Amino acid sequence: MPKTIKPVVATYADLSTAPNFKQELFAQFARVGKALSNGNRLELLELLAQGERSVDELARVSGLAVANTSQHLQQLRQAGLIVSRKQGLNVFYRLSGDDVLSLFESLRAVAGRHVAEVERLVNTFLTVKDTLEPISREELLERTRQGRVTVLDVRPPEEFASGHVPGAVNVSLAELEGYLQKADPYQEIVAYCRGPHCVLAFDAVVQLRAWGLNARRLQDGFPEWKQAGMPVETTDNVMQASDKGTLPR
């Protein structure tokens, strides 16, 4: 006669013999929270949301020392938020997944809704420069397809090369004046950069309007555009301002 195997049923009493389970689980969740609890690390995440970067590049753009940048990156990597690869003597980092960007966006949104100081800072340093409603992603996509708008990406060239809004022209703030002298004064211009709080787009709009041009900002930045599933161009068809005598019509 075959031996009967009785199923093992865990009872509440059995589960209660592991009182540290929830504590350990939440401690692992807290590792992510701890990694996000530093402003410099959040800025590094925003930079990595633009595309893969080396430690040296991240240090240069963020203004941090290379050693300090490396330490922050290690903490982000240990929390599973970024991954790295080595190429020769250089180490390159990127976000570990799209969900990391979603987490960053959620953190930013919660802080914007519930932390009064965030609203004060945004109003003092950004909104004061541009009080007009930014253009939505959907509206910008429709206008670009109709040829009714010129799109300016004011991020650094390496970020533009990693991905950008289709048809966008890469123009730095330093190059803006020279190239806008050739712009069609009747063509609307939309500027964007790294995200909704990126000062580059705000400053670009201020300069554009000072030249009497019709300029607006994109509601977010390139990472949010890509995250929303909008079409993206990469380095295969990059168009920088230095490559063109005039802006596209």
Catalytic residues: 193
Q: Whole-angstrom Cα distance, residue 40 to residue 35?
A: 10
Whole-number Cα distances in Å, 207 to 113, 129, 160, 219: 30, 10, 21, 18
Radius of gyration for the chain, computed over Cα atoms and rounded to the nearest angstrom: 23
Judging by beta carbons within 10 Å of its beta carbon (0-12, 13-18, 19+), is residue 116 exposed, middle or buried?
exposed
Say which residues have a Cβ less than 8 Å from residue 148's Cβ, sequence separation at least 6.
Answer: 187, 188
Q: Whole-angstrom Cα distance, residue 155 to residue 200?
A: 7
DSSP 88-123: TTEEEEEES-HHHHHHHHHHHHHHHHH-HHHHHHHH
Q: How many residues does the chain have?
A: 249
Q: Whole-angstrom Cα distance, residue 80 to residue 223?
A: 19
Q: Whole-angstrom Cα distance, residue 148 to residue 143?
A: 5
